Structure 1
């Protein structure tokens, strides 16, 4: 039996770039989960009257890079989360920014890098759990993969 080379996500960081040159990326605090989802490719129908066997023919069209969803334990005093400089600020300003998902803390020397803007931010308050801040980042353009 072959042993899995997979890793758990423990140690993964979500980082926001400062837009300067050289760009410095700062890790967002208290991230509970990172979900990159909704990536898809449009299908363009190229079927014609002489298509072989009467089967439809498709080709790839535009690609949608999806969204990054973060769940964080909210701390309004932390500059990576709050409305003064953090993700809440980026939501309020509509600012586009570079981001990284850094997996080097998991044992993979690997990262995903992209660009986007905060398109949503939801708070959840209960008596039993930490206050959560769920942030949606709309990805714009291609996501790059590289060594961390």
Structure 2
């Protein structure tokens, strides 16, 4: 029996506290949209003068684990710790927990590279956070 799809409501992006083996993860509150990581493999051009049919040839190169971005309803008291993460050069552990019956989890190390707040006069206070993933994510 095929599954028609999964409702994304309830997906969580969680931030690790750096506690090593007993690390505790806390959900980043009020997330409205989460995207990524955008995994992509670079290619290496191995074309030579005797490549068949005058066609370029490639092999797989390094994998770029991409970025994760999250839009939030910004509440300074809840989110200003994240702003401080911009000044931390070491990757921190994060994980995405999906709302499927298996509680599928993607865990990854990342550096916060962007925090952009928006305060329109006629709408909610919001922010977009961008994380650069470092190393291979773990898919649990």
Instruction: Report the TM-score when normalising by structure 1.
Output: 0.86
In the alignment, the residues of structure 2 paired with residue 34 and residue 5 of structure 1 have an alpha-carbon distance, to the nearest angstrom, of 21
**Structure 2 equivalent of residue 10 of structure 1:** 9
RMSD: 1.7
Is 2:119 the partner of 1:125? Answer: yes
Flag the 1:128–1:61 CA change in 2: closer, same or farther, 3 A. Answer: same
**Structure 2 equivalent of residue 69 of structure 1:** 69
Unaligned runs of 5+ in 2: none
Cα distance per residue 1:72-117 (max 9 Å; x no partner):
1111112xx11xxx211111333420000001x3444201110011
Unaligned runs of 5+ in 1: none
Query: Which residue of the other structure, out of 129, 135, 138, is the alignment partner of 1:141?
Result: 135
Checking the alignment, whether the CA contact within 8 Å between 1:7 and 1:107 is kept in structure 2 is: no
Flag the 1:25–1:37 CA change in 2: closer, same or farther, 3 A. Answer: closer
Is 2:47 the partner of 1:52? Answer: no
**Structure 2 equivalent of residue 100 of structure 1:** 95
Checking the alignment, whether the CA contact within 8 Å between 1:16 and 1:28 is kept in structure 2 is: yes
Checking the alignment, whether the CA contact within 8 Å between 1:10 and 1:106 is kept in structure 2 is: no
Aligned residues, how many? Answer: 139
